[in-house]
Structure 1
Amino acid sequence: MKHVAKVRIPSPMLSGIVYAAVWLALGALSLSLLLRFGNMEENQLGLYSLIVHGIAALCGGFVSGRRSGKRGWYYGGALGFAYGVLVLLVGFLATNAGLTPSTLTMMGIALGSGALGGIFGVNTSK
């Protein structure tokens, strides 16, 4: 077992979505643990979930910009938009949630932080 195959996703958008999903899962897990074992209340969950979405889109945009090597704001912003649409689609299919001001806020945060992550990511590429 000296040679272990390494999986590398060549597409900047797909790899960014995968990393954003991992960060979203980690953020949701930590929020649920704070809600259960900490002193956080349910009425604070909306703000913290927006922060988790922003961090997930930032990390996904970073990976997307780093993998693309050029136009980081473009790839990061596209990733943030795609991430927001996927979250809205899952929310609509799971709970029949529609477009509200908070969902539009989440889309704006995802778009902006994804573009910012892409700018940072393209500047760290080789």
Structure 2
Amino acid sequence: MEESKSFGSAVLFGVIAVFLLLIISSFIFSLILRFTSTQESSLGIVTTAITFITLFVGGFVSGGKGKQKGWLIGSLTGILYTLIIFLFQYLGYDSLFSVEQIIYHVCYILTAMMGGILGVNITTPKTRSV
């Protein structure tokens, strides 16, 4: 029971980190679009890269918080993010994911999983003797 509670709070911390970083980056991009002559179409690759970095950081945060099974915690972070985005799109815009969006979200989940693995391995002290 304690392990699932720890996993839940770790995943929640990761998803909160993801959305906070996305809100901050969205604010920065909106300032760039408002006060420069940059077009929205020219930021497509940059926003995709920022999303991947954000999911990696969210997985890293959740893995560091959970301290074990980083692949599972990172995957759950990515899956919860995907579920929230899917529900927002389905309930708000009445549309399902396209094939391209499904591919992106599978890659987001894998990226969050890698962040979770790295988060566990970097934040957990080494107990191995040489």
TM-score range, shorter chain: 0.7 to 0.9
Q: TM-score, normalised by structure 1?
A: 0.80
The one-letter amino acid paired with 1:36 is R
Aligned counterpart, 2:45: 47
CA shift digits 1:36-63 (9 cap, x unpaired): 2234322234433322321221111011
The 2-side partners of 1:49 and 1:91 are apart by: 18
Aligned counterpart, 1:7: none
The one-letter amino acid paired with 2:115 is G
Structural mapping, 1:32-71, within 5 Å: 32-71=30-69
Percent sequence identity over matched residues?
Answer: 27
Q: Hey, which of these two has a bigger chunk of helix by percent?
A: 2
Over 3 Å counting, the alpha-carbon distance change for 1:88 and 1:47 in structure 2 is: farther
The 1-side partners of 2:122 and 2:60 are apart by: 9
The one-letter amino acid paired with 2:25 is G
Structure 2 gap segments, 5+ residues each: 1-7, 125-130
Aligned counterpart, 1:115: 113
Deviates more, 1:98-107 or 1:56-65: 98-107
Structural mapping, 1:1-126, within 5 Å: 11-126=9-124
Q: What is the root-mean-square deviation of aligned Cα atoms in Å? A: 1.9
The one-letter amino acid paired with 1:40 is T
Deviates more, 1:98-107 or 1:19-28: 98-107
* Mapped contact 1:70–1:122 kept (Cα < 8 A): yes
- Structure (1 or 2) with the larger CA radius of gyration: 2
Q: Secondary structure at the match of 1:43?
A: helix
Aligned length: 117
Q: Secondary structure at the match of 1:124?
A: helix
Structure 1 gap segments, 5+ residues each: 1-9
